[in-house]
Amino acid sequence: MAIRRYVATADNTISNAYKENLRTRATGSNMGQADVSEVFSIYARQSTSSAELSRVLTEFNVSDISSDRTAGVIPASGSVSFYLRLFNAETSKTVPKNFTIVAQAISRSWSEGDGLDLENYKDLGASNWVSASKGLPWTTQGGDYHTSPEFKQTFKTGLEDLEINISELVEQWIAGTKTNYGIGIRLTSSLESTTTSYYTKRFFARGTQYFFKKPVIEARWNSSTQDDRGDFYMSSSLAPAVDNLNTLYLYNYVRGQLTNIPAIGTSEIFVDLYQTLGATALTQVINTPATGGHVSTGIYSCSVCITGSYTTLRDVWYSGSTEYFTGTISPESFAATSVSNGNSRHITKIKNLKNKYFSEEEARFNVYVRNKNWSPTIYTVASEEIENTIIPSASYRVYRVLDGLNVIPHGTGSELQTLLSYDVSGNYFNLDMSLLEPGYEYGIKLAFYDSQRQSWLEQDQKFVFRVEDYEY
């Protein structure tokens, strides 16, 4: 699991727009319970110089994020990115193009309110254009905001979702260096003061009935574990340095739970590699032990390069005079060929796929992969086990079968939040089912990175399952 979503706990649209009579401004209006929010500027509707604006306030429970970090659910600062996501709401009204929205931290507390009306502005009270809450005016009408940090996104068609990396601000909230009063979303100052109208950009608010359209802060990080025990290569001049490096993992399970080794905790662990000679004799193949480190609770790793030619290696993990684990490695060698391997298509299967999962589950999917053009002989079928090919760079996405809605897109950018793990048994990934709305079927599609094309290629197979609530 490398995605976690935190839904907004409060939001509101505030505006100084003119009401229908074009005499009275809606500065006292509240839209805290509306199912959409809106950002706009309107110029010269009431007079040749009149200006009308709308802004969005939204707030999140940052204590939930902080608690998840303390519990180890999300990683430490610098290893996770936080994105503010608001989703486009279609409207019959005009939609502006080529504009920029800015997001800034709100600098004082405000009340959401109970208003619903975005058209006639008849609902009053709580937060609005002039007041943060009843009887407590903003210092500056339209809301009070910190000038830094400031986040921007440009909308070309006007139909895009808002998706901004606000990691700097979220980390400030978690650290307590900035008090969390939420985020204000508006047009840039230059666009709010221009003589051009930008009417109207609408987003779904937290009151929407659509599960996947609520405003969220989305945490993304690369949680993949890439254990080369089953894909271990001897160093070769044919390969670049990064491909000559192998990473090995130690998983310390106690009564079925990953647990830190008491004598080590989060400190260093050391690894020696030996060549097997005969039945029991071992010869050390590295002069200096590899230094391993703590990855997460109960998981340790180290990276090694090995030169020479060996059929079997043993890795011994230890600290001081205490050995904690001894494993076996069957190294492979890189080899050049006169035949191009241009096939990027594979046969894939999720070996442990179930028809149904519950929304409270975190499911692990074990992936089997083989080359699509594999053509075994009768002897091969009878005498050999079909090899599970490890894909070093593999990604998953999840879509809703009913309408094809991409609910978890491939995360193949800087965060790699959908990258598959692998170990000696093959590729796998975990999926938090609470990210999916119960009562629907979902499909999984896999994509593998094609180094020859230098692009990701989505595979043909799809895997379908249903998510349900627990039945009590």
50-92 confidence digits (pLDDT tens): 999 999 999 999 999 999 999 989 999 999 999 999 999 999 8
Are 367 and 323 contained in the same domain?
no
Q: Is 337 contained in some domain?
A: no
Q: Is the pLDDT of residue 240 over 70?
A: yes
User: In the Cβ-directed half-sphere of 70, how many Cα atoms lie within 13 Å?
Assistant: 8
**Confidence at 286, pLDDT banded by 50, 70, 90:** confident
Are 77 and 164 contained in the same domain?
yes
Q: Is 440 contained in some domain?
A: yes
What residues pair up with 86 in beta bridges, in sequence order? Answer: 162
pLDDT number for residue 383: 46
Q: Cα–Cα distance between 26 and 42 in angstroms, integer?
A: 14
Are 434 and 321 contained in the same domain?
no
Q: Where does a domain end: 166, 193, 220?
A: 220
Per-residue pLDDT of 106-155, as tens digits, reads 999 999 999 999 999 999 989 999 999 999 999 999 999 999 999 999 99
Q: What share of the chain is helix, strand, coil (3-state, %, to 5)?
A: 10, 45, 50
Q: Reduced to 3 states, what is the DSSP secondary structure of residue 9?
A: coil
Q: Is 194 contained in some domain?
A: yes
The whole-angstrom distance between residue 347's C-alpha and the CA centroid of its chain comes to 27
Contact 165, 414 (CB under 8 A): no
Are 296 and 240 contained in the same domain?
yes
Q: Is the pLDDT of residue 380 over 60?
A: no
Q: What is the mean pLDDT of residues 462-468?
A: 98
Are 352 and 272 contained in the same domain?
no
Are 360 and 260 contained in the same domain?
no
The whole-angstrom distance between residue 362's C-alpha and the CA centroid of its chain comes to 15
Q: What is the mean pLDDT of residues 246-275?
A: 95
Q: Cα–Cα distance between 140 and 130 in angstroms, integer?
A: 8
Q: Where does a domain end: 184, 202, 220?
A: 220
Q: What is the mean pLDDT of residues 338-366?
A: 87
Q: Residue 324 belongs to what domain range?
A: 228-329
Please choose, from the candidates 85, 10, 22, 12, the residue with its C-alpha nearest in 3D space to the C-alpha of residue 50.
Answer: 22
Q: Is the pLDDT of residue 344 over 70?
A: no
Q: What is the mean pLDDT of residues 340-350?
A: 77
Please give the structure tokens belonging to residue 122: 């008849």
Backbone angles phi, psi at 216, to 5 degrees: -140, 155
Q: Cα–Cα distance between 182 and 176 in angstroms, integer?
A: 14
Q: Is the pLDDT of residue 259 over 90?
A: yes
Q: Global pTM?
A: 0.92
Q: Nearest 5 degrees, angle CA 68-CA 73-CA 76?
A: 80
Q: Is the pLDDT of residue 267 over 50?
A: yes
Q: Is 336 contained in some domain?
A: no
Are 51 and 160 contained in the same domain?
yes
**Confidence at 196, pLDDT banded by 50, 70, 90:** very high
pLDDT number for residue 123: 96
**Confidence at 225, pLDDT banded by 50, 70, 90:** very high
Q: Is 264 contained in some domain?
A: yes
Are 156 and 245 contained in the same domain?
no
What integer best gives the mean pLDDT of the chain? 93
Residue 360 maps to which CATH number?
2.60.40.1930
Q: Is the pLDDT of residue 378 over 70?
A: no
Indicate the number of domains in the chain: 3
Q: Nearest 5 degrees, angle CA 78-CA 294-CA 392?
A: 75
Q: What is the mean pLDDT of residues 246-271?
A: 96
Highest mean pLDDT among 44-48, 55-59, 411-415: 55-59
Are 103 and 16 contained in the same domain?
yes
